[in-house]
Chain A
Amino acid sequence: MDQAGTPGTSGFGDVVLEVDDLVTTFRTPDGVAPAVDGVSFEVRAGETLGVVGESGCGKSVTALSILGLVPSPPGCVERGTALLGDRDLLALPERTLADVRGNEIAMIFQEPMTSLNPVLTVGYQIAETVRRHDGGTRPGAMRRAVEMLDLVGIPEAQRRAREYPHQLSGGMRQRAMIAMALSCEPKVLIADEPTTALDVTIQAQVLDLIRELQGRLGTAVILITHDLGVIAETAHRVVVMYAGRKVEEADVTTLFDAPRHPYTRGLLASVPTLDALRDGAAGERRLAEIPGVVPKLTGLPDGCAFAPRCPLADGRCASTRPAFEEQRPGHSAACWHAHTAREAAREAGQ
């Protein structure tokens, strides 16, 4: 894998999508839940931005907000901008935005049936996406659909194109959805847990496929996942979210080598790794736990949302929310004790 050099900028093209201060809330019986609270990031052509965090931390709502797909009510995009080129997606009328979706920005989901129509053949659905994109003829679009199915590694693409989604295996459906998402050669691909439901063998195939197509088309990819292994293998830069907020951002090597936020450090310590044994290290070590549970969004503490679970929390953490600040070039975190966290990590033998 390539080593990302200077964090954030090297080796990639221009900024394609720039999200700034996104706030999305949901009205719930317990009050207003800030599902996404002031999230900002950018992604460049050819770059993969990983977004990681536990369930409910706002990863999917971030993606849905950018695409104008937040169900409203109960949801509401309250604030922020999402610049694609010089257009703000959050300000576009729905009709224009519908054109942008599946054209300049495409999305793939964990569950392929959310984007595949069960009563239409796979080939027809991809062909329609192609036609909407380039306005070409039906037979031409069908040929392109078969090409795309072939490209994503579906055997006998010609025959499979005439089949319905339920006739494909789970892995093939996922690949068909990727074929559809990429058939319009989007500038940005948002993949929300694209491999979570798949076996590791199929996951490896799908991730390789996304990477390969990204290399060929220069697509900017936003990869949302809770799997740190997938992040390490796929992302160039990583955003860590907790309770609707961005708590850390760095290039992938820095994030894994020198995490500054106690939550990131807790996550990294809590996953068992195959390497422990392969490298002859102790396999019997007790997994580090992050105590407690993810807080309810309607009752977040005034200060740092992670304070109730954080080993470093003190009075200031409980009362005042830490700002998201640059710790060193290209590496930011929202923590009063980001410095201490670094020292602790070093002592732990980094």
Chain B
Amino acid sequence: MTGAAPPAGVGPVLEVDGLRKYFVSPRRLLGPQAGVVHAVDGVSFTIEARETLGLVGESGCGKSTVGRTVLRLLKPTDGTIRLLGDDITRLESRALRPYRRRMQIIFQDPYSSLDPRMTAGDIAGELLGVHGVSSRAERHERVAELFSRVGLRRDQIGNYPHEFSGGQRQRLGIARALSLQPSLIVCDEPVSALDVSIQAQVINLLMDLQAEYGLSYLFIAHDLAVVEHISHRVAVMYLGRIVEFADKRELFANPLHPYTESLLDAVPVPDPRRVRRRRIVRGDVPSPIDRPSGCHFHTRCPYAVERCRHEDPALREVAPGHRVACHLR
């Protein structure tokens, strides 16, 4: 592939500031009252060229919503999103189009995210057609290049998704995402559905592609070991907010937020000799409609003190590049 364009500019590829995304939840029969789902509630971060930012947290804490809002697949409630320096927060369809080319997404489920009636070649080349970037012949050549780059055979171009294994379908999704030479790819649980041995193949591929094309990733996953492996920096989310943010070495070696600490402690380590020292959080994540007062984590936090019940801790920088939202740190 030629002309793989790491962004020309100097600044970050993505700058997100004070991002909010609320959903109005309809009144459910037996559930809580109608209310506002605070899916993303004031999230700020940047991603540099060639950088992977990992986003972790329990189910429902807002990771996918961040990814989808950043890509403008969802309309932000508040905040700003800058892609390659340009504010894209309120751009509408036509004005947004050139930016759409610069950012792509890879989904968790390679089974349901690909159209079963299209051939693999059409899937990989569809965006090239949509954006009218090449003639039919050029497109074919480009698809063939993409296939070999992601480790698919050229003779598979005419096959349908069901003829591929899970790992191959994920490679196909990656080929499609790469086709327009984006600057940023949101990877939403890209390896969660894959077998262990295939996971390693896809992770290695994503890392190789980043090195080769200077890609930036927003990498969403619930597997902390995978995030640790692939990320440069990591943000931990709880109930719509970032509660800790640091360089990955710093975060994994020296977690400061009690939530990060308990997440890390809960990860089973593939070493039977390891003595477990668990500070497991009790219970489930509270509803994002009716969040606990003060620090949202106080209902599950082993260190909570009276102050935590009514005072919301701000995200503060406690060491260079290490931010944490907790009264005690």
B127 at the interface (CB under 8 A from A): no
On whether the beta carbons of A274 and B262 are closer than 8 Å, the reply is: no
Interface residues of B in 225-269 (CB under 8 A from A): 225-226, 228-229, 248-249, 252-253, 262-269
Q: Which of B58, B225, B226, B274 contacts A201 (CB 8 A)?
A: B58
Contact yes or no, A232 B252, CB < 8 A: no
Residue B201 interfacial (CB < 8 Å): yes
- State the interface size on chain B (CB cutoff 8 A): 48
Residues from chain A with Cβ under 8 Å of B276 in the complex:
1, 233
B residues 178-228 near A (Cβ < 8 Å) are 195-201, 203-204, 207, 222, 224-226, 228
Closest to A196 in B: B192
Contact present for A200 and B263 (CB under 8 Å): yes
B165 CB contacts on chain A under 8 angstroms? 293-294
Tell me if B137 counts as interface (CB < 8 A to partner A): no
Name the contact of B252 in the complex, choosing from A253, A256, A274 (C-beta under 8 A).
Answer: A274
Give the 5 A-B CB pairs with smallest separation, nearest first.
A229-B268, A272-B229, A290-B197, A270-B200, A287-B200
Q: Are A229 and B269 in contact (CB under 8 A)?
A: yes
Give 1 or 0 for each of A193-217: 1 = CB within 8 Å of chain B CB. Answer: 0000001111111011000000000
The docked-state distance in angstroms from the alpha carbon of A55 to that of B194 is 9
Task: Tell me what chain A mostly uses at the interface: helix, strand, loop, or mixed.
Answer: helix
In the assembled complex, which residues on chain B have CB atoms less than 8 Å from the CB atom of A201? 58, 262-263, 266, 280-281
A136 at the interface (CB under 8 A from B): no
Smallest CB separation, A321 vs chain B (Å): 21
B264 & A274 in contact (Cβ 8 Å cutoff): yes
Q: How far is the CB of A166 from chain B (nearest CB, A)?
A: 8
CB-based contact A202/B284 at 8 Å: yes
Binding site for B on A (CB under 8 A): 1, 3, 54-55, 153, 155, 167, 169-172, 199-205, 207-208, 226-234, 252-253, 256-257, 266-268, 270-278, 280, 283, 286-291, 293-294
Please, which residues of chain B bring their CB within 8 A of the CB of A229?
225, 267-270
- From A54, A199, A208, A252, contact of B197 by CB (8 A): A54
Whether the pair B228, A272 counts as a contact (CB closer than 8 A) is yes
Asked if B117 lies at the interface with its beta carbon under 8 angstroms from chain A, I say no
Q: How far is the CA of A274 from the CA of B269 in the complex (A)?
A: 7
Of listed B195, B275, B282, residue having the most chain A CB within 10 A:
B195
Which listed residue, B200, B207, B229, touches A283 by the CB 8 Å rule?
B229
Report the separation of the CA atoms of residues A55 and B199 in the bound assembly, to the nearest whole angstrom: 12
Contact among A169, A280, A283 with B228 in the assembled complex (CB-CB below 8 Å):
A283
Chain A, residue nearest B58 (CB): A199
Is B10 at the interface (CB under 8 A from chain A)?
no
Docked CA distance A272–B276 (Å)? 18
Chain B residue numbers with a CB within 8 Å of A278 are 252-253
B272 CB within 8 Å of chain A: yes
Choose one: B229, B266, B271; the contact of A204 (CB below 8 Å).
Answer: B266
Query: Which residues, 157 to 185 on B, are CB-close (under 8 Å) to A?
Result: 165-168
Does B248 contact A277, Cβ atoms closer than 8 Å? yes
Can you give 21 contacting A-B residue pairs, CB < 8 Å?
A: A169-B284, A171-B284, A199-B59, A200-B222, A204-B266, A229-B270, A232-B268, A232-B272, A256-B272, A267-B197, A268-B270, A270-B196, A272-B226, A273-B225, A273-B271, A274-B269, A275-B269, A277-B253, A287-B203, A293-B165, A294-B195
User: Does B3 sit within 8 A of A, measured CB to CB?
Assistant: no
Give Cα A205 to B268, complex, Å.
12
Nearest CB of A to B280, in Å: 5
B154 at the interface (CB under 8 A from A): no
Are A233 and B196 in contact, with the CB atoms below 8 A? no
Q: Is B320 an interface residue (CB 8 A)?
A: no
The answer to whether A289 touches B197 (Cβ under 8 A) is yes
Alpha-carbon gap, A149 to B196, bound state (A): 34
Residue among A54, A153, A169, A283 making CB contact with B249, cutoff 8 Å:
A283
Q: Does B9 make an interface contact (CB < 8 A)? A: no
CB of B283 within 8 Å of the partner chain: yes
Min CB gap A73→B, angstroms: 22
Assess whether B278 is interfacial by the CB under 8 Å rule.
yes
B270 & A228 in contact (Cβ 8 Å cutoff): yes
Given contacts A232-B268, A286-B207, A288-B200, 8 further A-B pairs with CB under 8 A are A199-B222, A201-B281, A204-B278, A230-B268, A232-B272, A233-B268, A277-B228, A283-B228
In the complex the two chains form, what is the Cα distance from A170 to B201 in whole Å? Answer: 31
Across-interface contacts of B225 in A (CB, < 8 A): 229, 271-274
Nearest residue (CB) in B for A230 is B268
B280 & A270 in contact (Cβ 8 Å cutoff): no
Contact assessment for B203 and A167 in the assembled complex, using a CB-CB cutoff below 8 Å: no
**Docked CA distance A167–B201 (Å):** 39
* Listed residue (A167, A229, A267) with the most chain B CB atoms within 10 angstroms of its CB: A229
A1 to B283, CA, bound (A): 24
Give the shortest distance, in Å, between B198 (CB) and chain A (any CB).
7
> Closest Cβ of chain B: how far from A204's Cβ, in Å?
4
Beta-carbon contact of A286 and B271 below 8 Å: no
